[in-house]
């Protein structure tokens, strides 16, 4: 799967269920829709390994991806990249919950 296919929000438009693709060189891929605070979002996520830890690369509405990793204090996945502050807190929590339910 190319990056353009991974980050194409139109690829999942109109779907509410999680679409999973098997792990391969790019890890597990998950695409899903969320509605948070009455705002619809299209999310594309894939796993990758970093220093023996599984992380998620998450794109929202086809924008640049955010890096999510497990935060043991919060007991959920948390965005840790430089642009993480641009994600609304409620959206970050909803993405974390959806990815954990589908794991």
Q: In the beta sheet, which residues pair with residue 30? A: 20, 45
Q: What is the pLDDT of residue 18?
A: 52
Q: How confident is the model at residue 27 (pLDDT cuts 50, 70, 90)?
A: confident
Q: Which domain holds residue 29?
A: 3-102
In the predicted model, is pLDDT for residue 97 greater than 70? Answer: yes
> How many domains are there within the chain?
1
First to last CA, the chain: 20
Q: Give pLDDT tens digits for 50-91.
A: 999 999 999 999 999 999 999 999 999 999 999 999 999 999
Determine phi and psi for 14, rounding to 5 degrees: 85, 0
CB of 48 within 8 A of CB of 67? no
Q: How far apart are CA 75 and CA 6, in angstroms?
A: 27
Q: How confident is the model at residue 8 (pLDDT cuts 50, 70, 90)?
A: low
Helices (H), the chain: 3-6, 89-102
In the predicted model, is pLDDT for residue 5 greater than 50? Answer: no
């Amino acid at each position: 799967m190319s990056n353009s296919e991974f980050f194409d929000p139109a690829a999942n438009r109109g779907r509410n269920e999680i679409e999973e693709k098997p792990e391969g060189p790019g890890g597990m891929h998950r695409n899903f829709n969320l509605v948070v605070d009455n705002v619809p979002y299209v999310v594309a996520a894939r796993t990758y390994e970093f220093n023996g830890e599984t992380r998620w690369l998450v794109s929202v509405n086809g924008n640049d991806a955010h890096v999510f990793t497990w935060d043991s204090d919060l007991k959920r996945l948390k965005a840790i990249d430089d642009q993480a502050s641009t994600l609304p807190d409620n959206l970050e929590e909803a993405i974390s919950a959806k990815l954990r339910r589908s794991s």
